[in-house]
Structure 1
Amino acid sequence: MTKNPPPLQQNPYYEGVPTYMTEVYDWAYVDPNWVRALDRNLVVKTLLFLNDQRLMRRYLAQLQPGQRVWQLAHVYGDLVQRAAEKVGPHGEFVLTDVTPIQIEHGSRKLKDMPWAKVIRSDAADYQPEGRFDVICSFFLLHEVPEQKKREIVEHMLEQLPDDGKLVFVDYHNPARWQPIRYILKLVNHYLEPFANALWQHEISHYAKQPERYHWEKETIFGGVYQCVIVTKKR
């Protein structure tokens, strides 16, 4: 006789995972069977309409060997390896995530890089030892509720040193002529309920005191995506 699966609260892959993750993104980021199927470069390329390399390069271009870098969430494909490799053994690369299965995948990818650490933590709560040169949110903000967006952005700003930078790569409000706009409207309606907020607000909207910082934004692929670099005003 086939045994019934354990309830979510008894499943180690769901322990301590925020409710919005299990209710909205179970299929994408929590259920280990789905995660194993989706964690592939080809999937990333398809979901980003062949813009994956352009977007990853925006992030990787901000990294230098020997830096301390914090990436707020695991990303499917090989991005975390590439980021850690660029930082190199004279630096430190820290990857945090809130879900056990993402920690498992990130740890596997980075196991041969002793300068890379994988830590389970909510992006808004992680308390690092020392300061980071670069802090990156790569396609995280569109996946979290409004209040969590505010908490994450503000926490990142709190960790920003005078000579450091924040990197946000995420969705944006596409131009009306961009046909992908109408595909994403359907995707957001059915699968990404927190993503439309980035169509309506700049990322700086989620900071308590945005005027204290420089917000340098580049839009990509007809406005579908954005890369925002944040530094402190001198």
Structure 2
Amino acid sequence: MTRNPPELDDAFYYRDVPDYMTEVYDWAYVNPRHAALLDRNLVVRVLLFGNDRRLMRAYLERVRPGMRVWQVAHVYGDLVQRVAHKVGVQGLFDLTDVTPVQVAHASRKLSALPQSRVVQADAAEFQGERGYDLITSFFLLHEVPDGKKREVVDNMLRQLPPTGRALFVDYHKPAPWQPIGWLLRWVNHYLEPFAAALWRHEIRDFATQADRFVWKKRTLFGGVYQIVEVERLQAPMA
């Protein structure tokens, strides 16, 4: 039987991975064999019911050359390369992820782009360089427990400078007429146990100091997805 080389043996991929990831998402994000099969644009397109480019565009349209961007978790497909390319060599693209296999995939994709940095870190604890223009959570919140949602949101907002912006792209409660909602109820029950919280709560509900920020939300695909932009509330001029 073929084995990974010693430095990349199975134990490596499970190093410092939170229990909820191994217990719930081993099949999707931790096991290196499964990740190798899933990290494809086609898989992302199927999982997002053909809305992948539309949702990615909502993120990419907010990226400008020279920006400093922190994306709090890796995403399958080519999104991370597209963001790094767009910030350009005068910008910075920091990408964090808590699992070694995702760090390995991201590092491979971004190896030729010197403006990018990949770090194994918990999005709730990572302390990046101050001055990010954009901090993005692209389909992370629905995959973490509710307490962790609050920690991630608070950490993102804590590092947001006065002129910066946070962006959350994630699931949302579908409209009653949206038939995809019934499928997602099954998926949430059996595969995504932390996702239902985004059906019951606004993302701002997970922010300890939500009133210090301006929140703008729009939904897509009959309410299945939400795009939430956050900026610091500016003090009124004297």
TM-score bracket, normalised by the shorter chain, equals over 0.9
Q: Aligned-pair distance for 1:2? A: 10
C-alpha distance in structure 1 between counterparts of 2:134 and 2:98, whole Å: 20
Match of residue 66 from structure 2 = 66
C-alpha distance in structure 2 between counterparts of 1:172 and 1:128, whole Å: 28
Match of residue 233 from structure 1 = 233
C-alpha distance in structure 2 between counterparts of 1:178 and 1:2, whole Å: 45
Gaps of 5+ in 1: 4-9
C-alpha distance in structure 1 between counterparts of 2:132 and 2:98, whole Å: 20
C-alpha distance in structure 1 between counterparts of 2:176 and 2:80, whole Å: 33
C-alpha distance in structure 1 between counterparts of 2:213 and 2:95, whole Å: 25
Contact 2:68 2:133 in 1 (8 A): yes
Contact 2:130 2:161 in 1 (8 A): no
Match of residue 217 from structure 1 = 217
C-alpha distance in structure 2 between counterparts of 1:116 and 1:223, whole Å: 33
Match of residue 7 from structure 2 = none
Aligned length: 230
Match of residue 183 from structure 2 = 183
C-alpha distance in structure 2 between counterparts of 1:217 and 1:26, whole Å: 31
Runs of 4+ aligned structure 1 residues displaced above 4 Å come to: none
Q: Aligned-pair distance for 1:130? A: 2.3
2:125 equivalent to 1:125: yes
Per-residue CA deviation, residues 94-150 of structure 1 (Å, 9 max, x unaligned), is 000010000000000000100100011000111112220000000000000010000
Q: Aligned-pair distance for 1:70? A: 0.2
Match of residue 150 from structure 1 = 150
Match of residue 20 from structure 2 = 20
Q: Residue 124 of structure 1 aligns to a residue in which SS?
A: coil
Match of residue 6 from structure 1 = none
The CA RMSD over aligned residues, in Å, is 1.6
Gaps of 5+ in 2: 4-9
C-alpha distance in structure 2 between counterparts of 1:174 and 1:199, whole Å: 8
Match of residue 11 from structure 1 = 11
Per-residue CA deviation, residues 157-180 of structure 1 (Å, 9 max, x unaligned), is 100100000000000000010000
Match of residue 50 from structure 2 = 50
Once the two structures are aligned, what percentage of the paired residues are identical? 61
Q: Aligned-pair distance for 1:233? A: 1.0
C-alpha distance in structure 2 between counterparts of 1:64 and 1:116, whole Å: 15
Residue 132 of structure 1 aligns to which amino acid in structure 2? Y
C-alpha distance in structure 2 between counterparts of 1:185 and 1:163, whole Å: 38
Q: Residue 20 of structure 2 aligns to a residue in which SS?
A: helix
C-alpha distance in structure 1 between counterparts of 2:83 and 2:106, whole Å: 12
C-alpha distance in structure 1 between counterparts of 2:225 and 2:129, whole Å: 32
Residue 30 of structure 1 aligns to which amino acid in structure 2? V
Q: Residue 199 of structure 1 aligns to a residue in which SS?
A: helix
Residue 16 of structure 2 aligns to which amino acid in structure 1? G
Cα–Cα, structure 1 residues 182 and 118, in superposed 2: closer, same or farther, change >3 Å?
Answer: same
Contact 2:130 2:159 in 1 (8 A): no
C-alpha distance in structure 2 between counterparts of 1:191 and 1:39, whole Å: 18
Q: Residue 187 of structure 2 aligns to a residue in which SS?
A: helix
C-alpha distance in structure 2 between counterparts of 1:164 and 1:24, whole Å: 33
Match of residue 7 from structure 1 = none
Q: Aligned-pair distance for 1:154? A: 0.4
1:187-198 paired onto structure 2 within 5 Å: 187-198=187-198
C-alpha distance in structure 1 between counterparts of 2:12 and 2:209, whole Å: 39
C-alpha distance in structure 2 between counterparts of 1:193 and 1:74, whole Å: 20
Match of residue 163 from structure 1 = 163
C-alpha distance in structure 2 between counterparts of 1:212 and 1:13, whole Å: 39
Q: Residue 122 of structure 2 aligns to a residue in which SS?
A: coil
Contact 2:28 2:35 in 1 (8 A): yes
C-alpha distance in structure 1 between counterparts of 2:80 and 2:177, whole Å: 33
**If the length of structure 2 is used for normalisation, what is the TM-score?**
0.94
Match of residue 110 from structure 1 = 110
Q: Residue 16 of structure 1 aligns to a residue in which SS?
A: coil
